[in-house]
Amino acid sequence: MAPDFDTAARQIVEAGRWLAGCGWAPAGAGNYSVRLGDGSVAITVSGRHKGRIGLDDVMRVDLDGRSLDGKTPSAETLLHMLAYRMEPRTGAVLHTHSLPVTVLTRHLPGGALHLDGYEVMKAFGGVQTHQARVALPVFDNDQDMTALSLRIEASLASAPAYLIRGHGLYGWGADMEAASCVVEAAEFLVACELELLKLNGAGP
Ligand SMILES: [Zn+2]
């Protein structure tokens, strides 16, 4: 069942402490949201360090990203709303800015990071074996969130998460626990790919 605002705000504050503790929210980056029972969304306000947010740093927006309480939402609110609109079962969205995602997406050309052979991929819905193949789409960064969300909407299929080049990762799930699992798995897998690249030599 979708949570009420107070419950969602507590989940978001806890997520901020966890993700900042992982080093995935440097310099106040990143944003987190939870879909509420009334159809609106609780999301982090703009510009606060996510490791130090409190309940007052969470606000409500509608599915178009418009403020419902006068506060100013994170700059990337439209990308959260996209995840909710594209998949009705999405209950929570987390956006991280980790070193492995930032570095690897700048190094790798192309529109996807292809993964196979990893046990941890089973954290993604529908993946039963390490022999599966999972592609995480990679989109070029853009300061125009409307343009970026249109590009993502046009090409995002059934991926469990996606990456933005030189920027970060978006993951989602049916609730905060599921979204946290997806993001932790995706970050782990990207870090593994970066380590493999270093072991094998970065190449051209
Ligand atoms: Zn970001």
Q: Is it the case that residue 79 has pLDDT exceeding 60? A: yes
Residue 46: how many CB atoms within 10 A of its CB?
16
Global pTM value: 0.94
Q: What is the percent of the chain where pLDDT is above 70? A: 98
Note the pLDDT tens digit of each residue in 136-162.
Answer: 999 999 999 888 888 888 877 678 899
Determine the average pLDDT of the residues in 71-79: 90
Q: What spacing in Å lies between the alpha carbon of 164 and ligand 1's midpoint?
A: 8
Query: How many angstroms does the Cα of residue 42 sit away from the middle of ligand 1?
Result: 17
- Burial level of 115, CB count in 10 A (0-12/13-18/19+)? buried
Residue 183 in contact with residue 96, Cβ under 8 Å? yes
Look at 202 and 31; give whichever has higher pLDDT.
Answer: 31
- Interval 64-68 mean pLDDT: 96
Instruction: Please give the share of the chain, as a percent, with pLDDT higher than 90.
Output: 78
Ligand 1 (ion): residues with CB under 5 Å are 168
Cα of 128 vs centre of ligand 1, distance in Å, is: 30
* Ligand 1 centroid distance, CA of 88 (Å): 23
Question: pLDDT of 4-61, one tens digit each?
Answer: 999 999 999 999 999 999 999 999 899 999 999 999 999 999 988 999 999 999 999 9
Q: Residue 203's pLDDT is what? A: 59
Identify the band that residue 185 occupies on the pLDDT scale cut at 50, 70 and 90: very high
Q: Is the dihedral of CA 169, 175, 181, 184 positive or negative?
A: positive
30 C-alpha vs ligand 1 centroid, how far in Å?
A: 5
Closest Cα to residue 36, out of 65, 77, 8, 76? 8
Distance of CA 143 from the midpoint of ligand 1 (Å):
10
Secondary structure of residue 59 in the 3-state scheme: strand
CB 32 within 8 A of CB 44: yes
Is the distance from CB of 166 to CB of 105 less than 8 angstroms?
A: yes
CA of 134 to the centre of ligand 1 (A): 23
Distance in Å, CA 201 to ligand 1 centroid: 29
Q: How far is the CA of 28 from the centre of ligand 1 (A)?
A: 10
**Bridge partners of 92?**
34, 173
Residue 68 CA to residue 42 CA, distance in Å, equals: 10
For residue 135, the cross-strand partners are 114
CA 43 / ligand 1 centre spacing (Å) = 14
